[in-house]
């Protein structure tokens, strides 16, 4: 029997131009999510070309000698140096089990996205061209009809993310109403049809 495929961990991108406050927001958001019981991991993307390994270190020397990748582990962590793996999902496969992956940057990928905007950095909003943006963190109102959060509203952003995961208090209140709505809309029509059948049955009985 084939092994059961592991459920993919949700990835939410946090994107915006350099200097807009992405790292500052994440530094404040992650502890709030952790306090709510979520195990959070991070993926970071950079468009700058620079070496991640240090020249002359064993890992760098052995990679130049022909190793396709080099990993090093110590008492407090590990590091992996190697070629690009591809997209965010390929990189996420290397992470330990978690409930949510926050991806800083990654504007070139189709991911649900929180836009981080700052007026003095850019007048342009990503949400005007990127349909994956579902919320905007900015010091001014966005031009799109999306949830707008101020940079210091990390608790509200955490609730929004928890609701998307189905783990927030708001999501818990909405779910029963959404499940009941179809039945409530059908109920009057069903009662009318039933009454019609009873009336027709009564008329037939009188005729006999």
With the C-alpha atoms ordered 134, 108, 42, 101, is the resulting torsion angle positive or negative? positive
**Which pLDDT value is given to residue 168?**
64
Say yes or no: 142 and 206 in one domain. no
The domain containing residue 23 runs over which residues?
Answer: 11-69+79-167
Beta strand pairing call for 113-117 and 70-74: unpaired
Residue 87 φ/ψ, nearest 5 degrees = -85, -175
Number of domains in the chain: 2
Asked, for residue 4, whether it belongs to a domain, the answer is: no
Q: What is the CATH number of the domain that holds 116?
A: 3.40.50.300
Rg (CA), the chain: 26
Say yes or no: 187 and 104 in one domain. no
Burial code (b: 16+ CB inside 10 Å, e: under 16) for 171-208 equals beeeeeeeeeeeeeeeeeeeeeeeeeeeeeeeeeeeee
Identify the residue with better confidence: 8 or 3.
8
Asked, for residue 203, whether it belongs to a domain, the answer is: yes
Say yes or no: 83 and 154 in one domain. yes
Q: Which of 107, 106, 135, 139 is nearest to 123 (CA)?
A: 139
Asked, for residue 39, whether it belongs to a domain, the answer is: yes
**Which pLDDT value is given to residue 47?**
66
Angle at 15 between CA 11 and CA 17, to 5 degrees: 160
Please provide the average confidence, as pLDDT, over all residues in the chain: 78
CB count in 10 Å sphere of residue 10:
16
Q: Which of 12, 186, 11, 9 is nearest to 116 (CA)?
A: 12
In Å, what is the CA distance from 118 to each residue of 69, 140, 171? 39, 8, 29
Say yes or no: 31 and 84 in one domain. yes
The string of pLDDT tens digits covering residues 93-128 is 888 999 999 999 888 889 999 999 999 999 999 999
DSSP letter assigned to residue 96: P
- The answer to whether 189 and 60 are in contact (CB under 8 A) is no
pTM of the model: 0.71
Q: Which of 42, 50, 161 is nearest to 104 (CA)?
A: 42
**Which pLDDT value is given to residue 3?**
37
Q: Per-residue pLDDT for 32 more than 90?
A: yes
Distance from chain centroid for Cα 106: 12
């Amino acid at each position: 029997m084939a092994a059961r495929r592991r459920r993919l961990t949700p990835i939410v991108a946090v994107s915006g131009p350099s200097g807009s406050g992405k790292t500052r927001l994440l530094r404040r958001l992650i502890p709030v999510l952790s306090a709510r019981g979520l195990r959070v991991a991070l993926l970071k993307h950079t468009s700058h070309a620079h070496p991640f390994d240090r020249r002359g270190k064993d890992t760098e020397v052995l990679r130049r000698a022909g190793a396709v990748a080099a990993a090093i582990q110590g008492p407090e962590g590990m590091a992996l140096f190697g070629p690009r793996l591809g997209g965010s999902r390929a990189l996420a496969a290397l992470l330990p089990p978690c409930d949510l992956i926050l991806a800083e940057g990654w504007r070139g990928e189709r991911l649900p996205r929180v836009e981080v905007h700052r007026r003095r950095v850019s007048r342009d909003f990503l949400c005007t061209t990127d349909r994956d943006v579902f919320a905007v963190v900015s010091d001014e109102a966005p031009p799109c009809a999306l949830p707008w959060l101020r940079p210091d509203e990390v608790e509200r952003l955490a609730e929004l993310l928890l609701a998307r995961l189905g783990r927030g208090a708001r999501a818990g209140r909405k779910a029963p109403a959404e499940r009941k709505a179809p039945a409530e809309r059908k109920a009057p029509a069903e009662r009318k049809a039933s009454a019609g059948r009873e009336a027709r049955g009564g008329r037939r009985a009188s005729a006999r």
